[in-house]
Amino acid sequence: MDFSAVYGFNQLKSEAVNTVNASMSASSPLAFKAGGTILQQGILNLDFSKKLAPGINFAAGAESRLENYRIIAGDEFSYLDANPAGTPPALLKLPGTNGRPGFQPEERLTKYRANLGVYAEANIDILTSTLLSAAARYERYSDFGANLSGKIAVRHKLSDQLSVRSSISRNFRAPSLQQVYYEQQQFQFFQKNGQSGVYLVQHFRNDSPVLQQLGVPKLKPETSFNLSAGIAGSVNSWLSFSADFYYIPIRNRIVVSGRLDSSVTALKPVLASAGVTDMQFFINALNTYTKGLELTANYTTVTGSQQSLTINGTASFSQTRVKMRIANLPLSGGGNIPGSSLLPRIDIGIIEKAQPNNKMIISCIYQLNAFNFLLRNTWFGQVAAWENDPVFDQTFGDKVVTDLQCSWQLNKKLSFTAGCNNLFNIYPDEIKEINALNTNLSFGGQIPYSRTANQFGFNGMSYYTSLRLKF
């Protein structure tokens, strides 16, 4: 039997310095506290495991989880609109902290969610060469009802050196508290109708009266199936390998909608009432599938009692595609929001092209007495950044990043490590400015790397040291 209790939290505080609230003119302070968010989570786990008979193992357990999400309002000047009454629209100055207005009092909230889950798992050796595993998990959420998930897996040994395996599982993910309750007004810099500019965007929480009146549906849980099949083996005591294929379809994926403006006629009164140019919200907008192949190989040779060399290789080839997306969203008062606005082309590109579909890692670990040396090369395949206008699409080439590390075991309890990440100071490709209209992609050259493509970091080379003491 095992009992555990875990508590954790994540807090984001927003502050702005060396900026102003333009609507306050000369009376504006230069530093603001813009509020923030806090997510807290407490988990209790109770687990049992027992060998019921030779070749039969059983496990069961329960989990209780309590979550708390809070939005904290900023100081008054961070969101204040100090424009004098009757100011002509052409002379209005932007309210709130320039660039990031604070959370307003009406956006402040505290929400809780409780979840109770139980599970059972059994592993059975059907024959000396075949292992069958089955697991089921039942969960009940205080706000999303109940769910039953499960998994069946089988592994069969073809020989002492080779085995095959396969599994199928059904999975469930309830919308997070942040996805349900996040709400804020903020300025965003983007291109609209061929013009770059700063626009005030309102993100509405999913249960807001505004969205309910429009007829925007409440968020539903995401569900997925995971199908996999693979082979694993060893050539000898020094060389082993594995290969696994997987296919994961996901239904009702939750995404942030595109920025919706007055071009959708039914939204004009909503935007006018909120005093913003655009609005967004979370929505179940699409179904996707991901398929891929993962390969691993491991070679280890021992050349002496205090000397060894290990070479690890991994390769991943994957593809994610949008299988179906929301066509149109009918609104209660008539009309609809086009699917191309709810999920614009730029967002499809983030899902399908923004991360490397292909990646390889080769690591060499050399152990010599009390010293351990690590050399790792990571190859990142190309990525692409789509824009709503295909003219501005860009593809960024593949790169290799090298890491080097050395550790010294001073004694049984004390070790010292020094290393360098990105040894050769490799950066992703920079954005190419095609014409004057897309200078906003790099914020006028201030950020030369894509905001949507996520190949690897753009901080370049870094060094580190650490001293580890074991008690």
Q: What is the pLDDT tens value at each position of the chain, 471 positions in all?
A: 899 999 999 999 999 999 999 999 899 999 999 999 999 999 999 999 999 999 899 999 999 999 999 999 999 999 998 988 888 877 888 888 887 889 999 999 999 999 999 999 999 998 889 999 999 999 999 998 899 999 999 999 999 999 999 999 999 999 999 999 999 988 887 777 666 678 889 999 999 999 999 999 999 999 999 999 999 999 988 999 999 999 999 999 999 999 999 888 889 988 988 888 999 999 999 999 999 999 999 999 887 778 899 999 999 999 999 999 888 899 887 788 999 899 999 999 999 999 999 999 999 999 999 999 999 999 999 999 998 888 888 999 999 999 999 999 999 889 999 999 999 999 999 988 665 555 566 666 677 888 888 899 889 999 999 999 988
DSSP 8-state class, residue 97: B
- 324: Cβ contacts below 8 Å, ≥ 6 apart: 286, 287
Distance from C-alpha of 419 to C-alpha of 406, rounded to nearest angstrom: 6
- pLDDT of amino acid 302: 82
**Listed residue (263, 264, 261, 266) closest to 277, CA to CA:** 261
Burial class (CB in 10 A: 0-12, 13-18, 19+), 424: exposed
Across 239-275, b (16+ Cβ under 10 Å) vs e yields ebbbebebebebbbbbbbbbbbbeebebbeebbeebe
Domains of the chain, residue spans: 1-115, 355-471
Phi/psi zone of residue 270: left (φ > 0), alpha (ψ -120 to 50 degrees), beta? Answer: alpha
- pLDDT of amino acid 237: 84
Q: Say which residue the tokens 């060396």 belong to.
A: 18
- pLDDT of amino acid 87: 84
Distance from C-alpha of 109 to C-alpha of 106, rounded to nearest angstrom: 8
- 230: Cβ contacts below 8 Å, ≥ 6 apart: 164, 165, 166, 242, 243, 244, 245
Distance from C-alpha of 23 to C-alpha of 119, rounded to nearest angstrom: 57
Distance from C-alpha of 289 to C-alpha of 284, rounded to nearest angstrom: 15
Q: How far is CA 350 from the centre of its chain?
A: 12
- pLDDT of amino acid 439: 56
Based on its alpha-carbon atoms, the radius of gyration of the chain, rounded to whole angstroms, reads 27
Q: Say which residue the tokens 């351990």 belong to.
A: 372
Coil vs helix vs strand at 264: coil
Residue 27 identity (one-letter amino acid): S
